[in-house]
Amino acid sequence: MVNVERILALFQHQIFLWQDEGRRLLAVEGGPVGPEGCFCGLGLVSTNKSCSMPPISFQDLPLNIYMVIFGTGIFVFMLSLIFCCYFISKLRNQAQSERYGYKEVVLKGDAKKLQLYGQTCAVCLEDFKGKDELGVLPCQHAFHRKCLVKWLEVRCVCPMCNKPIAGPTETSQSIGILLDELV
């Protein structure tokens, strides 16, 4: 009678039966053991009646390992692509504010504290709300950023007081002009 102490399952659903605390291999997937005490037909290498797995090269890896490596690469690529798109959009917004000469502000607090309570955008005639993106001109008039950009594309004056807004100088190219040429 054989005393099987352990049954070990390894790669590709192969079952190995060991005896004597793992020193002697009895059977592999129900098949007999080879003459050296090892079943070498399944890729095991026999060295002095002890069995060991042969060294595995990259080509011998199973398909699921390739999928993990490929998936990790795609994940890193998508993450870097999202970061680049976010960074470019931030630069584009900054360039737009530089070109038209306004400062971008995000209304995050109470409108009373920012002295905008009861004020409306002179372009779209809507009240300022929490978390609105505002554009503030050098004359200190505030408007919704999208409304202000559309207004300044048509006319380079303040919608409230008609003061001219200084554009970029012709001698020095700003970030906005460079970004528009690239994208």
Instruction: Read off the pLDDT of residues 73-94 as tens digits, 9 standing for 90 and up.
Output: 999 999 999 999 999 988 887 7
Nearest to 152, CA basis, from 91, 101, 92: 101
pLDDT score of 2 more than 80: no
User: Phi and psi (nearest 5°) for 159?
Assistant: -65, -20
pLDDT score of 96 more than 60: yes
In percent, the amount of the chain with pLDDT more than 70 equals 43
- pLDDT for the residue 110: 46
Domain ranges of the chain: 6-55, 56-100, 101-164
Distance between CA atoms of residues 116 and 112, nearest Å = 6
Distance between CA atoms of residues 80 and 73, nearest Å = 11
pLDDT score of 65 more than 70: yes
**What's the Cα-to-Cα distance from 70 to each of 65, 83, 93, rounded to whole Å?**
9, 20, 35
Distance between CA atoms of residues 183 and 34, nearest Å = 68
**Chain mean pLDDT for the chain:** 66
For range 38-56, the mean pLDDT: 53
pLDDT digits (tens, 9 = 90+) for 143-168: 888 888 888 778 878 888 888 876 54
In percent, the amount of the chain with pLDDT more than 90 equals 9
CATH topology of domain 101-164: Herpes Virus-1 (3.30.40)
